[in-house]
Structure 1
């Protein structure tokens, strides 16, 4: 029956299962509540240590603990008299205490059936007394105790018990406060992260705006949005910079339109053609910037925006500063124009005039020109300069030594781009001169020939201004082309002068010889000698024609010497010694003229003026400072004593010009005869580009 009764009582088992399930749920809730305080296994803290110390002192016990009960252990947040931070759950007094309502006291554990078999009672440390106030959450869930323990039986009076309970509540206040602070910290962290994300989005937008502004600035692109009805324009920062106006968010359209120069105003939009949509969407015009009054080229691109009724409401678009591109195109066209003009120019003055005007126009300066440098007389020769209306010309001669600092830099091949002379300390000693010329900024391009400064192209401006790389490149282009044209014309003029003088001399000589021959030989019966003499005269005329050629083919040096000197003396009176080498056309002509003059002088005054004198011509190639150099020596002997002439004419000038017109010549007038020496770089002598 007992068995049957047991088996026939399923309701009791069901109730027990329900109780067990509820207990399990409550335990899960309790553990969750405990862990929500995030207090387990944390370091000791003074606030809790003070509570444990006060409990031990008030209750006069050797041990006091702020104890938290987990599922398999008890953790001591604070303790007095134990020396450990946790103990196993099985031997816990407090595990029993949390099953009580609020407070558990055990005066003598040996007499309490719940604890008398506890190993902490029967063995070390032989606990006898226990009292604990339960730590409860606001949901009435026990999570631990504030307890005191002793090794002797003991009782607590009402004050001591109330103190333990108060201390337990203080522990919960501390835990709740910690929890609230952590919740607030978590909320603050969430807010911080949200703020950071919002800030990141704002920053990204600002960075995007900044990148957009930087891109607009780099491309010189301004944006605008014009309300057709109100005539108000929303403009970007770069738009304001392009027009040179103060940076503002909006302007009236008329304020912007007034910046367009008078000649281009027909191309701008206006109130009427914007409203009817007839304004040209794409135009190019020039403006005068408001801040610096500079002339700038602007390209405007726009479109119309319509409202819901289909009417034009806005005009939006961009403006580009195309000044640099326009100026670059202008400079390119100017260089092409310069090349065409220089090809047809036939004089130095014409070349200087063309170059100065194009340089001044291309750089938009008040004055420009070319100055030739003559170091021999400390002079700067400025034959012509271009000066804008109202600007005085500085053409004429200037003193080279008045510009020591700038000339020194120019001699070194440095281009001088001075934005403001008063901001250039190394130029201080020249300030007054430039001020007297009305110069505040300048650009100077040196022209070097053979390492020597021979000329300067210059541009002057009356106000400080910068010089862009494009402008300096343009000035160098003008300088290079112009100097090449000047060199060509000057060479042609010098050649023409030489040819004219030589032709005049030879023709006079021929006329005189022919007259003498006619008078002297008219009665000679030995016609063979007469014919030989006449043939020699014809040979001299033929040599004259050869010497005047502008583009002689390459000749051999010995052939040139023999041909020229053969016209003046018999072969046995001329001694030639040197390597047979090729001469370029210019050197061949120069050598012919030089030998002709030397031989003519020898016929008149020197070794060839009698019947026994001789001339020796020796030449050789030597290495001088790493440069292959041709040296030639003319030596006369056996003639009458010679003295240096006091009058020096064209012939002397020809001799001083040397082998290739480089002036490296030296003459010695000895009693025994003239000795003249000449030298020139072999590369110059053999240069075929005449």
Structure 2
């Protein structure tokens, strides 16, 4: 965990980067203080910056001073809060009841402060309102004070960027003026540009601005260290222009300059384009601003300018646009895989990762199933089933509802047990957002990167936004499925029952010559009615295979006559109905001719799910033991056809008639068995 001293140093460095301490009053900030006072209805309001041992008021109303020590500061306490702090009555608040500003002049009773946070999330000050009487703020007043805080940060960010850019442009104008006066010494003035005094380097580093100069005749470039870092090349002063032109993405090369357009002074001076960095091959957005330098005859001899990495800004805009359109795209998704594909693409685009996707979780089956994964070029797919036990440490955190953002797996000791599995997937850093349904972990939206990287708050906010929309879309699919079941299940089951009754009647009463056939029909119909009762008592969206087998076989045999073994497997309504009728027919035959017709006979029912393929298969085995020898019936009736249909109508059935009884094996895709279809 980062130490307090280190964090305070970072905070002070962030404040220093805005170059705002001890600056004169400005109307823009005074207006914000006036608005804060008017909105909150307080006599005092300030735009306050917390420095090292002091607080500086960039703007203030009702105080008359620009700086005070931190000992009695309300705002020093405010920067420890999340984003907003309200003290309705300081005399009743144990944090401030002994504060000299409360017990003595000016007798402050009320305080409300909205935090000023840098783009890295570091607190640097507050916009606050203070009063002499106890007070409560409305939600509108609180939101307005926070909006004013955001406006202050927008002003500070803009000033910082303009300051950095204006310094470089001012430097360039001075150099250009000298070149016009002394055109014969262009080379000497170009050398002046390469001089890096401490102030220039600090400005460039703070603004992340790269500087370049192109000699049009030789196509040689002089570049700054920051320019090299932006393009991902070794830091050195001299390069051929073609080195950087080759790094520009093919589709954007017409936008940037080339030797011909520089020589004719027709190259655009203000452009934005993408580059593929030389060291890590990452695509970054670059904004380039330039101008031409001419000799005494008006011929362009130099192209000088600056470049700025604007990838974060571009991605922020893209993320906002993506979240706005994501809901519309998800509405057309008909399956979980559709939702997974859409969210994976959006997440990968917004975060710029190697792999992203959505996986469903089934803790009972130790299953992690990647429905779909978006892949960058050269990245290996991990779609399909994986043992959940390979990621025990990760799963434990996700089950608590924690969003995980790991910048470097190798440096996270709590992930040691999972490190080998991540290494096999080529993952060094990741973001994972859990999907929790009814207290259980059911899915994970993930973003993988092959290199260590720090995940910013903006990136996590985006991932949360995508996950929220994905969860809502999946919940919609489940709700629609359940609604169809509620509306149609009873009707379908009644129709199916009538069809079966008709088939049984036709089969049983065909060519009837004696009343025993009628009795057989009645017994069969009664057994079918019992099986149907089992169906009606189950909630097929959550029914389990073991429960269905137990309820059906209870109608045919007492305790000890049926042995069951196998994992918990959820059943959809179609598979549940099919399996109930199938087991009823097998049980009826076993009572009449098989193992259940003798005292010593038993039926062993076992099942398992294969994990050696991307499409798991449920295998159910019916084995009669201790009964009379089994023989294939000469007459194939309705019951035989029902058994041949198998589970959910797949027809994948294998029957063996042995000396100890019937052995029948049924197979069906697990996805079909679990399907919540009609």
TM-score, length basis structure 1: 0.42
TM-score, length basis structure 2: 0.43
Q: Which has the larger radius of gyration?
A: 1
